Amino acid sequence: MTFAPTTPTTVNDLAWLGEHAASRLPRDLQLTADGPLVATIDAEVARLRTLAAGAPGSLAVRDLPSARNEGTDAAPLDELARAGAEAYALRTRGEHLELIGAGDRGLLYGFYAVTLGLTGATGGEWRIHAPAQSIRMLDHWDNMSVHPVMGQVERGYAGGSLFFDNGELREDLTRVEHYARLLASIGINRVALNNVNVHALEATLLTTRLPQVERLAEIFRAQGISVLLSVSFNAPIVLGGLETSDPLDAEVQDWWSAAADAVYARIPDFGGFVVKADSEGQPGPFACGRDHADGANLLARALAPHRGEVFWRAFVYDHHQDWRDRSTDRARAAHDHFSPLDGRFDDNVIVQVKHGPLDFQTREAVSPVIGAMPRTRLAVELQVTQEYTGQQKHVCYLAPWWSENLSFPFGPEGSPTVAQIVAGTTERPGGVVAVSNVGADEFWTGHPLAQANLFALGRLAWGPGLAPERILEEWIEASFGADPLVGEVLNELMAHSWQLYESYTAPLGVGFMVRPGHHYGPDVDGYEYTPWGTYHFADRDGIGVDRTVATGTGFIGLYPEPWASLYESLETCPDELLLFFHHVPYTHRLHSGKTVIQHIYDSRADGYERVLALRPRWEQLDGRVPAALHERVTTLLQEQERSAEEWRDQLRAYFFRASGIADETGRRIW
Amino acid sequence: MTFAPTTPTTVNDLAWLGEHAASRLPRDLQLTADGPLVATIDAEVARLRTLAAGAPGSLAVRDLPSARNEGTDAAPLDELARAGAEAYALRTRGEHLELIGAGDRGLLYGFYAVTLGLTGATGGEWRIHAPAQSIRMLDHWDNMSVHPVMGQVERGYAGGSLFFDNGELREDLTRVEHYARLLASIGINRVALNNVNVHALEATLLTTRLPQVERLAEIFRAQGISVLLSVSFNAPIVLGGLETSDPLDAEVQDWWSAAADAVYARIPDFGGFVVKADSEGQPGPFACGRDHADGANLLARALAPHRGEVFWRAFVYDHHQDWRDRSTDRARAAHDHFSPLDGRFDDNVIVQVKHGPLDFQTREAVSPVIGAMPRTRLAVELQVTQEYTGQQKHVCYLAPWWSENLSFPFGPEGSPTVAQIVAGTTERPGGVVAVSNVGADEFWTGHPLAQANLFALGRLAWGPGLAPERILEEWIEASFGADPLVGEVLNELMAHSWQLYESYTAPLGVGFMVRPGHHYGPDVDGYEYTPWGTYHFADRDGIGVDRTVATGTGFIGLYPEPWASLYESLETCPDELLLFFHHVPYTHRLHSGKTVIQHIYDSRADGYERVLALRPRWEQLDGRVPAALHERVTTLLQEQERSAEEWRDQLRAYFFRASGIADETGRRIW
């Protein structure tokens, strides 16, 4: 399915910043503030006023100096100042709201929060709102032209790139302006513009095509967002004509410094570089006999004079693994490569770690790297684009999955969680990075309901403790208003859609089982005998990857207690990760009481039945949501039904052929 | 691997028409003949003389009128005349040869046969040589530009197209000239220039790009070869702007007549059209509610005034099959579609039938369509390009496979064979069509030893009774001369290479087990749950496709006796087709005495060991064959070793996981 780009003029493609948001903004609005983003707020108010008249009551927006001048109590203001420039304070008296921004971004975030109803319970007292994560960034995997294999947006399921078309920046950037305000409204403060797999054309964004980056930076700057570029570690060779990219080579260091200087001359608030090095064919420091600290620090030192940062991905593994070799475990790779380097990265390096040890699966364990680098700035990398979770053809609301990951404590109860660890300290902050799911599609995300994932990503990066179901309500109300039936149906379709998707796809944390290449739809053995290191080891007797310390790859030993013991033992290992950690017979009995094989049979059959229940519910919203949106979702629900049936039938058939064990419910196996 | 084109100037890329052929041509040559191809023979002699001095002795070449004038005995001349214009007569007296051509092509074929040493045992008596098959045709699956998925040559493994580059005819057609003489030298008389999957650009060869066809026709005409085009059944819509391609529509009929007239105005000896209709997404008569006789006759009637012919492919099946449905059998499809149409095709339609009921597998049964259409002109379609037989990376000499197929009798011993059936009658002749394996590669075929397949195809189309081992000797001597070690080593590498390839790939006739899309390398379940209709149905207990009448798809019932009974019974079904016809337990014992599972284990392990023996033998030819050719083959033998090991290990692992039965030899299973 390909989606045509449009300019954002209809209610469909205004996403959550349309008429429903506009009607929540108080009619009486006073803005007493200075700073570069005040004009943005002014323009937003004007834009929203064209969509709806607004709510009764008033909103007074002030910056800190104005608030002090006007005699607001010192205590909350001091607290607000300590919370950082992105924070805001809010006080409600009936229909009258007072908002104070600690800095430019704080003003803007507070304004959007009021508009979208994100401020939670309010009351007569001042309440300070500040983001938990300093880094709240989206990575675009956009190519400038259509890649023959990967398409324009790598792992993109929403049409072409918002930024680029036919190898150059788009002429009409109206939609980028709207995209920037959508991102700012959920607190995103950084955007990396191009694919981490940097091809020849995209490499030139750093040099000859820098003016194109500058234009995008201007648009994002207006919404408090800084831009970054993915760069090739071999840029000194590819772009600079040098013979090496060795981080210890003075010419290479000079080349990067000059390149950074040139960027900052045009874009003084440029965010920095994102680097995928020594990973899936991308060049890196290994070729020069250097390690990843050497590599990251090379770029960091070029950026440091400008306060730029390096986001260095920890996604490093051997993608030419021999499937015969059961001792090598891709899950260990990032930990093995990076944990020994803890403490060696410069202060402006952030090591960007995928949330799980494999690759954005529907279910996998938490990456042990997160807990293994206390002296390194970290960002956890999530994937909003639904590469392995239905590719924006299936409804799959991912916030519960991210929330579970972010709240995982590295140690006994009360230990720092993933969210707390990556947040870091005020001096050395980290955060959350996520791969965008947005493209030139008129609904932004292909599947209109996938907008909720983008929304939730921003919300969880702001407040990792926010409940996924509450975020879903926020998104529904901002996008569709207060129609109770709409809320009820969308909740029913979305709230548990991640678990639903899991129920009919790869079982019990084993992962993959997708068609190689495009990663959509079932192929149980698709990756089984490949060099990619992603195996299930199913045979006639059992299935799963033995990652125990006792008899397996030892991966479990990378976790602190109590996790190491909990995962190691079949008595305590959670069902949903059983096959991620253990190889067990099909007759192994889960904590649920079912055998593994019966679980495989039942979940896939039940999951499909539950999918079939979605479309009739959605039909009830005909006429209550925009018609084009309703039609798109209906079409995609049909595809979800088809695909879920295929998953059901292939997996049930495969595992019956393998195990020879009948489905005790007697349901048909093909 | 991609191969650069060159002009044919080195010994490597003259193939079998280089110095060794030149040195066999008698030094004293007298040519007493008229006709359009006499100039060609003159030019060939001149060209060959530049390569070598020639052999002692003499060759007198005459056409029939000259021979009669010079008083040659009437009896052999009359016999020669009856044998048709492509025949020639040869008489040898010591080192003195006399050659008489029955017509232009007969002259040319006789001349090349002497040059290449293809005339077999000679003696003092006249011997008449005539082709068994009137139609000896190569189909090129060349696109004019690089197709994003299929490349320039679909299923091509020898670089780009010889004819086209970058969407147009190549400017330098020197290599096409040489290719034409290579084809004529082995008796090929027709070439279809473009891919049967006709894309938009290639469709225009019929109209706006017809001058490009004309240029190619001139080159091939000089070697007695007529050219054909693959055309789209929807050409009246796509090129003509009509609203339908309905064969019964008068406008459509007129459009095709006009199109044919325009072609023949430029190319009076144009061969006709090749059509893939209602197959794998190509348009066809089904869309208009017509059948394939209607469709074929539509084109035939446009061509008939010009004596042109339609090659209508019988490769029609449902490529959106449901893998759950075990009653639908793709092997039946061509028979089910075409046998009811027997007798309804016009006289200038040749139904082109793949040799097996599936798709050019390493091993499959003979297509029952061949025996089911006695009132239809037929051509059997073979595949020289090694799509499923090693893709010109593995040594795989296919003549034994083709020979086995061509000599299959449709009925009891003595019944007409495939070769005899397709040969047809003088009035309604058929023949052999094959997909070319040639491209712009400097060795023509990627793997230099794959030249032997092209050579053998021509030889078997001429004489289906020729022994494959004899053809191999002819090719070796023509290409490499008489060095005994070269002959010995090449025989060892090639003579049984098809059986060797079979031994380490899909077992016992079950087919496929290749990576979807590119079809190279193992993937046991690659097509198992797909819509392509190519399944093995392996489970923990057994494997194979039940095509019996008693319990299966009934496909076996399409064969005449004794085959129907022989295939139906496990007692008599040949081992090599066992899994093509039957689903059996892994413990089923073959006629060989081994169980199916042990056969799978052993053949793959032994096959790999035999592959390892090839390269050391080939090393012995270092310095005895052209260096570049030696190096290319060495490189490819390494790839064959790698790939055969992968086949061995994946298949042994897959079937051990499935069956749980140990390899009784104790060899390691991964």
Query: Taking a C-beta distance cutoff of 8 angstroms, is the pair A220, A36 a contact?
Result: no
pLDDT digits (tens, 9 = 90+) for A73-108: 999 999 999 999 999 999 998 889 999 999 999 999
In this prediction, residue B3 carries a pLDDT of: 39
Q: What is the pTM of this model?
A: 0.92
- Determine contact: B539 vs chain A, CB below 8 A: yes
Written as six digits, the tokens of A577 are 């990760």
pLDDT at A236: 97
**What is the three-class DSSP state of B312?**
strand
pLDDT digits (tens, 9 = 90+) for B388-419: 999 999 999 999 999 999 999 999 999 999 99
pLDDT, residue B2, reads 39
Token pair belonging to B74 = 């009437």
pLDDT of amino acid B1: 36
Count each helix (H run) and each strand (E run) in chain A, helices first. Answer: 23, 19
| pLDDT tens digits, B300-313 | 999 999 999 999 99
Task: Give the type of residue at B21.
Answer: A
With b for 16 or more beta-carbon neighbours within 10 A and e for fewer, the B41-66 pattern comes to: beebbeebeebbebbebbbbbbbbeb
Of B522, B540, B656, the CB nearest to A657: B540
**Amino acid found at B607:** G
Q: If residue B228 lies in a helix (H) or strand (E), which one and from where to where?
A: strand B226-230
pLDDT above 70 as % of chain B: 98
Question: Looking at the complex, does the CB of residue A653 fall below 8 Å from at least one CB of chain B?
Answer: yes
Of B148, B523, B540, the CB nearest to A540: B540
Strand-strand pairing, A26-32 and A55-63: parallel
Beta carbons of A670 and B324 less than 8 Å apart: yes
Q: Is the pLDDT of residue A2 over 80?
A: no
CA distance A540 to chain B (A): 5
Gap between the Cα atoms of A401 and A7, Å rounded: 32
Pick the closest to residue A33 from A126, A114, A98 (CA basis).
A98
Mean pLDDT of chain B: 96
User: Please, which residues bridge with residue B58 across strands?
Assistant: B28, B96
Residue A252 Cα distances to A206, A286, A669, B581, angstroms: 15, 15, 61, 65
Interfacial B residues in 100-159 facing A (CB < 8 Å)? 148
Closest CA to A434 of A192, A87, A159, A118: A192
Q: How far apart are the first and last CA of chain A?
A: 29
Instruction: Provide the annotated active-site residues of A.
Output: 280, 359, 387
Whether the pLDDT of residue B8 is over 80: the answer is: no
Query: What count of Cα atoms within 13 Å lies in the side-chain half-sphere of residue B168?
Result: 5
Q: How high is the pLDDT of residue A4? A: 39
In tens, the pLDDT along B633-652 reads 999 999 999 999 999 999 99
Is pLDDT above 70 for B543?
Answer: yes
CA distance, residue B196 to nearest chain A CA (Å): 23
Residue A72's SS3 state is coil
Nearest CA in chain B to A542: B657
Structure tokens at B3: 């191969």
Best probe of the A interface among B150, B525, B604, B652, by most A CBs < 10 A, is: B525
Residue B13 is predicted with a pLDDT of 72
Residues A94 and A29: their CA atoms lie apart, in Å, by 15
State the alpha helices, DSSP H only, in B438-557. Answer: 451-462, 468-480, 484-494, 497-504
A26-35, B10-19, B243-252 — which is least confidently predicted? Answer: B10-19
φ and ψ at residue A473, rounded to 5 degrees:
-60, -45
Using alpha carbons, select from B129, B230, B636, B574 the residue that is nearest to residue B433.
Answer: B230
Work out the minimum CA distance from A441 to partner chain B, whole angstroms: 24
For residue B588, the 8-state DSSP code is: P
The per-residue pLDDT for A405 is 98
Chain B contact for A373 (CB, 8 A cutoff): no
Distance CA B244, CA B284 (A): 11
- What is the per-residue pLDDT for B123? 76
> Which residues have C-beta within 8 Å of that of residue B593, sequence separation ≥ 6?
none
CA distance B538 to chain A (A): 7
- Retrieve residue A190's tokens: 């950084």
What average pLDDT does range B121-141 have in this prediction? 93
Torsion sign, CA atoms A134, A140, A144, A148: positive
Q: State the Cα–Cα distance between residues B133 and B190, nearest whole angstrom.
A: 12
Task: Work out the pLDDT band at A9, boundaries 50, 70, 90.
Answer: low
Which pLDDT score is estimated for A120?
Answer: 78
The pLDDT, as a whole number, for residue B10 is: 58
Smallest CA–CA distance, residue B338 to chain A, in Å, is 31
B649 touches chain A (CB under 8 A): yes
Averaged pLDDT, B351-373: 98
Q: Which amino acid is at B595?
A: T
Which amino acid type is present at position B547?
Answer: R
On whether any CB of chain A is under 8 Å from the CB of B523, the answer is: yes
Residue carrying structure tokens 């959106």: B320
- Check if A520 contacts B (Cβ < 8 Å): no
pLDDT of B144-164, one tens digit each?
A: 999 988 999 999 999 999 999
Q: What is the mean pLDDT of residues B288-294?
A: 97
Report yes or no: B543 and B536 within 8 Å, Cβ to Cβ. Answer: yes
Structure tokens at A334: 């990032």
Which residue of chain A comes nearest to B538, CA vs CA? Answer: A657
For range B491-517, the mean pLDDT: 97
Is B618 in contact with B635 (CB distance < 8 Å)? no
With beta carbons less than 8 A apart as the criterion, state whether A342 and A375 touch: yes
Q: Side-chain half-sphere of A147: how many Cα atoms within 13 Å? A: 21
8 Å CB contact of B658 and A540? yes
> Is A659 near chain B, with CB under 8 Å?
yes
As annotated, the active-site residues of B are 280, 359, 387
A286 touches chain B (CB under 8 A): no
Q: How far apart are CA B555 and CA B330, in angstroms?
A: 10
CB-count exposure of residue B4 (10 Å: 0-12, 13-18, 19+): exposed
| A525 touches B at CB < 8 Å | yes
Report the length, in residues, of chain B: 670
A320 touches chain B (CB under 8 A): no
Question: CA-to-CA distance for A10 and B207, rounded, in angstroms?
Answer: 46
Query: A541 and B660 in contact by Cβ < 8 A?
Result: yes
Q: What per-residue confidence (pLDDT) applies to B9?
A: 54
Average pLDDT of the residues of chain A: 96
The number of C-alpha atoms within 13 Å of A402 and in the hemisphere containing its C-beta is 36
Tell me, yes or no, if B454 comes closer than 8 A to chain A by beta carbon. no
Q: Find the closest chain A residue to B537 by CA distance.
A: A657
Q: What are phi and psi of B356, to 5 degrees?
A: -120, 165
Instruction: Give the C-alpha separation, A343 to A373, whole Å.
Output: 8
Nearest to B178 by CA among B38, B50, B16, B4: B16
pLDDT tens digits for range A555-581: 999 999 999 999 999 999 999 999 999
A522 and B540 in contact by Cβ < 8 A? no
Distance between CA atoms of residues A629 and B566, nearest Å: 61
- The answer to whether B539 contacts A670, with C-beta atoms less than 8 Å apart, is no
Contact B647, B521 (CB under 8 A): yes
What pLDDT score does B148 carry?
A: 86
Position A298: which residue type?
A: L
What are the two backbone dihedrals, phi and then psi, of residue A272, each rounded to the nearest 5 degrees? 135, -155
What is the reported pLDDT for A124? 86
| Residue listed under structure tokens 């949903």 | A576
**pLDDT (0 to 100) of residue A397:** 98
Interface pTM, i.e. ipTM: 0.87
Residue B367 pLDDT greater than 60, yes or no: yes
For tokens 């007759």, the residue is A587
Residue whose pair of structure tokens reads 């003075």 in the numeric block: A250
DSSP assignment letter at B287:
G
Q: How far is A59 from chain B (nearest CA, A)?
A: 57
Cβ–Cβ of B658/A148 closer than 8 Å? Answer: no
C-alpha distances in angstroms, B354 versus A184, B293, B370, B422, B442? 62, 18, 9, 12, 29
- Which among B523, B540, B656 has the least Cβ separation from residue A658? B540
User: Which residues in chain B have Cβ-Cβ distances shorter than 8 Å to A523?
Assistant: 525, 529
Q: What are the distances in angstroms from CA A110 to CA A103, A128, A226? A: 10, 10, 19
**Residue B619 structure tokens:** 């090393």
